[in-house]
Amino acid sequence: MNEQTALLRSEQLVGGYLPEVDILQGCSVHVGKGELVGIIGPNGAGKSTLIKAMFGLVPIRGGRVLLEDDDITALPAHAMVSRGLGYVPQNNNVFPSLTIRENLEMGMFLRPKDFQRRHAAVTELFPLLDQRSAQKCGSLSGGERQVVAMGRALMTDPRVLFLDEPSAGLSPLMQDTVFESVRTINESGVSILMVEQNARRCLEICHRGYVLDQGRDAYTGTGAALLHDPKVIELYLGTLARVG
């Protein structure tokens, strides 16, 4: 994938939550049409900060974010959604007091007239969301909640979906469910940029990956190449990989 023809890319991003503290120190990543791209790295490397910055949730003080040739660096998160980007946060990503259907409806609050069409498309990918549509999300397992959260993000028909550590805190069995869901979404044509703490599993399903360290992209390559790179294994996979 040529970076200059990428669907979405960040160029030398500098930024962070506090004005004087730049967690990102010049981070550049790109996602091509139909790609599943993973971001791994040690705690504090800036992984989640990167996708939050690209989605307009963290201030950017240097560099830019491009959707094809359109500079979207300064846009707020709600404007990112209208441009075709979706985001699933790591925590508190469903409304537990609402049903599955109501959560999906929340994903379409700006375009309620399109709900039936998008609901049909999303539940075709994930029949569970239709079969148990009246169930309160608070009674779901962690893995099922993740599927609901991803389904709600898909309701807007995004071109690119950001996922922030979708397997965090889940049992190995539930991680399997979530990773299969991620693969299903990608195979439906949605490009994905995924931050993931389970480095080995992430690289196994990703087309390409980035290893972040101290706010910079230290290594990049295909998922398979990074998975077998001696430096990546020695520095990252030994401590990051969790055997599921």
Write down the pTM of the prediction: 0.93
Q: What are the extents of the domains in the chain?
A: 3-239
Half-sphere exposure of 238 (CA within 13 A, CB side): 7
Of 169, 181, 179, nearest in space to 204 by CA:
179
Confidence at residue 132, expressed as pLDDT on a 0 to 100 scale: 97
Q: In what order do the strands lie in the sheet with 191-195?
A: 85-88, 160-164, 191-195, 36-40, 208-213, 216-222
Alpha-carbon separation of residue 113 from 32, 155, 209 (angstroms) = 30, 12, 37
- For tokens 């409806």, name the residue: 105
CATH code given to domain 3-239: 3.40.50.300
Q: Taking CA 151 as the corner, what is the angle to CA 159 and CA 93, rounded to the nearest 5 degrees?
A: 105
Q: At CB < 8 A and 24+ separation, what contacts does 185-189 make?
A: 185/125, 185/150, 185/154, 185/161, 186/34, 186/35, 186/36, 188/125, 189/34
Confidence at residue 12, expressed as pLDDT on a 0 to 100 scale: 97
Q: pLDDT truncated to tens, each residue of the chain (244 aa)?
A: 566 679 999 999 999 999 889 999 999 999 999 999 999 999 899 999 999 999 999 999 999 999 999 999 989 999 999 999 999 999 889 999 999 999 999 999 878 899 999 999 999 999 999 999 999 999 999 999 999 999 999 999 999 999 999 999 999 999 999 999 999 999 999 999 999 999 999 999 999 999 999 999 989 999 999 999 998 988 888 654 443 3
